[in-house]
A and B are shown apart, each in its own frame.
Chain A
Amino acid sequence: MQKKIKCILFSCLLLLTACTSKYQRAKIAYEAGNYPIAIEDYDNIINKSDNGYEITLSELDRSESYYQLGMRAFERKNYNLAIRLFYLANSDKADDKIIDSYLEILDKSKSEDNNEMVIAIYDYIITNLYKSPRVPKYIFERANLIYDWYDDEQTVWADYCIMNEYFPESEYVAKTQVIVDKFLLSWVNHLANQKNNKDADLSDIIGKLMYLKSQPNSYHKEISNEIALIYIQMAESEIVGEHYVKAKKLFQDALEFDANQANYVQKRLEDICQIFINEGNELLNEKKIDEAITQYSRSFQIIEEYTKATNAITRAEQRRRDIAQSLNLKEEGVQLERKKKYQEALKKYQQAAVLDKTRELDKLIFEVSNIIEIEKDPRAFAMKVLREYKNGLIVKGVNDLRLDLKEEWGESLRDSGWKTIGAATRYKIELRYDLITPDDNYFLSWQINMKDRTLIPLNKLTEKLFGK
Chain B
Amino acid sequence: MKKILLLLIISFSLLGLYARTEFDISVFADTLKYNWNNAEERYQYRENLAFKKGLIDSYEAERLSTTLNLGKSAILPGWGHFDTNNVLRGQILLSTEIILAGTSFFLYDKSVEKYDKYKASKQIDEINQYYSDANRLYKQSQLTMGLFAAIWVFNIYDTYVSTNQYNEWLWIRNMQKELDRRINISPNGINIRF
How far, in Å, is B156 (CB) from chain A's closest CB?
Answer: 14
How far, in Å, is B42 (CB) from chain A's closest CB?
Answer: 6
How far, in Å, is A127 (CB) from chain B's closest CB?
Answer: 6
How far, in Å, is A272 (CB) from chain B's closest CB?
Answer: 41
Interface residue B23 (Cβ < 8 Å from any Cβ of A): yes
Task: Assess the B20–A14 pair: CB atoms within 8 A.
Answer: no
Query: CB-CB < 8 A to B15: which residues of A?
Result: 18
Query: CB-CB < 8 A to A85: which residues of B?
Result: 29
Given the interface contacts A7-B6, A85-B29, A90-B42, does A51 sit within 8 Å of B168 by beta carbon?
yes
How far, in Å, is B90 (CB) from chain A's closest CB?
Answer: 23
Q: How large is the interface on B (under 10, 10 to 19, 20 to 34, 35 or more residues)?
A: 35 or more
Task: Assess the B31–A87 pair: CB atoms within 8 A.
Answer: yes
Query: What's the A-B contact tally at a CB cutoff of 8 Å?
Result: 77
Interface residue A59 (Cβ < 8 Å from any Cβ of B): yes
Query: CB-CB < 8 A to B171: which residues of A?
Result: 51-53
Question: Closest chain A residue to B60 by CB distance?
Answer: A53
Query: CB-CB < 8 A to A130: which residues of B?
Result: 39
Query: CB-CB < 8 A to B63: which residues of A?
Result: 53
Task: Assess the A15–B20 pair: CB atoms within 8 A.
Answer: no
The A interface is mostly helix, strand or loop, or mixed, namely helix
How far, in Å, is B51 (CB) from chain A's closest CB?
Answer: 10
Interface residue A11 (Cβ < 8 Å from any Cβ of B): yes
Question: Closest chain A residue to B40 by CB distance?
Answer: A130
Interface residue A454 (Cβ < 8 Å from any Cβ of B): no
Task: Assess the B168–A25 pair: CB atoms within 8 A.
Answer: no
Interface residue A60 (Cβ < 8 Å from any Cβ of B): yes
Identify which of A37, A63, A81 contacts B49 (C-beta below 8 A): A63
Task: Assess the A52–B31 pair: CB atoms within 8 A.
Answer: no
Question: Closest chain B residue to A55 by CB distance?
Answer: B52
Query: CB-CB < 8 A to A40: which residues of B?
Result: 20
Distance, CA A25 to CA B30, complexed state (A)? 24
Q: Which of A39-93 contact B (CB under 8 A)?
A: 39-40, 50-53, 56-57, 59-60, 63, 81, 84-85, 87-88, 90-91
Interface residue B25 (Cβ < 8 Å from any Cβ of A): yes
Query: CB-CB < 8 A to A11: which residues of B?
Result: 5-6, 9
Query: CB-CB < 8 A to B187: which residues of A?
Result: none
How far, in Å, is B64 (CB) from chain A's closest CB?
Answer: 12
Identify which of A17, A57, A127 contacts B13 (C-beta below 8 A): A17
Q: Which of B1-56 contact A (CB under 8 A)?
A: 2, 5-6, 9-10, 12-13, 15-16, 20, 23, 25, 28-31, 33-34, 36, 39, 42-43, 45-46, 49, 52-53, 55-56
Q: Which of A123-137 contact B (CB under 8 A)?
A: 127-131
Task: Assess the A52–B39 pair: CB atoms within 8 A.
Answer: no
Interface string of A124-153 (1 = CB under 8 A from B): 000111110000000000000000000000
Given the interface contacts A36-B23, A40-B20, does A56 sit within 8 Å of B53 by beta carbon?
yes
Question: Closest chain B residue to A39 by CB distance?
Answer: B28
How far, in Å, is B39 (CB) from chain A's closest CB?
Answer: 4
Interface residue B135 (Cβ < 8 Å from any Cβ of A): no
The B interface is mostly helix, strand or loop, or mixed, namely helix
Interface residue B167 (Cβ < 8 Å from any Cβ of A): yes
Distance, CA A10 to CA B2, complexed state (A)? 12
Given the interface contacts A81-B29, A88-B34, A130-B39, does A56 sit within 8 Å of B13 by beta carbon?
no
Task: Assess the A50–B168 pair: CB atoms within 8 A.
Answer: yes
Query: CB-CB < 8 A to B13: which residues of A?
Result: 14-15, 17-18
Task: Assess the A14–B10 pair: CB atoms within 8 A.
Answer: yes
Distance, CA A81 to CA B59, complexed state (A)? 36
Query: CB-CB < 8 A to A52: which residues of B?
Result: 52, 168, 171-172, 175
Query: CB-CB < 8 A to A91: which residues of B?
Result: 46
Question: Closest chain B residue to A131 by CB distance?
Answer: B43
Given the interface contacts A14-B9, A14-B10, A52-B175, does A88 sit within 8 Å of B31 by beta carbon?
yes
Interface centre among B9, B29, B43, B46 (most CB of A within 10 A): B29
Question: Closest chain A residue to B59 by CB distance?
Answer: A53
Question: Closest chain B residue to A59 by CB distance?
Answer: B49
Query: CB-CB < 8 A to A57: which residues of B?
Result: 56
How far, in Å, is B54 (CB) from chain A's closest CB?
Answer: 10
Query: CB-CB < 8 A to B59: which residues of A?
Result: 53
Distance, CA A438 to CA B56, complexed state (A)? 149
Interface string of A316-333 (1 = CB under 8 A from B): 000000000000000000
Distance, CA A131 to CA B44, complexed state (A)? 11
Closest 10 CB pairs of A and B: A52-B171, A84-B29, A18-B13, A56-B52, A128-B39, A53-B171, A14-B13, A87-B31, A14-B9, A90-B46
8 contacts between A and B (CB under 8 A): A7-B6, A25-B16, A53-B63, A56-B55, A60-B49, A84-B31, A88-B29, A129-B39
Q: Which residues of A contact B (CB under 8 A)?
A: 7, 10-11, 14-15, 17-18, 25, 36-37, 39-40, 50-53, 56-57, 59-60, 63, 81, 84-85, 87-88, 90-91, 127-131
Q: Which residues of B contact A (CB under 8 A)?
A: 2, 5-6, 9-10, 12-13, 15-16, 20, 23, 25, 28-31, 33-34, 36, 39, 42-43, 45-46, 49, 52-53, 55-56, 59, 63, 164, 167-168, 171-172, 175
List 18 additional contacts besides A17-B13, A53-B167, A59-B49; criterion CB under 8 Å. A7-B6, A10-B6, A14-B9, A14-B10, A18-B9, A25-B16, A36-B23, A36-B28, A52-B52, A53-B168, A56-B49, A56-B55, A56-B56, A63-B49, A81-B25, A81-B29, A88-B33, A129-B39
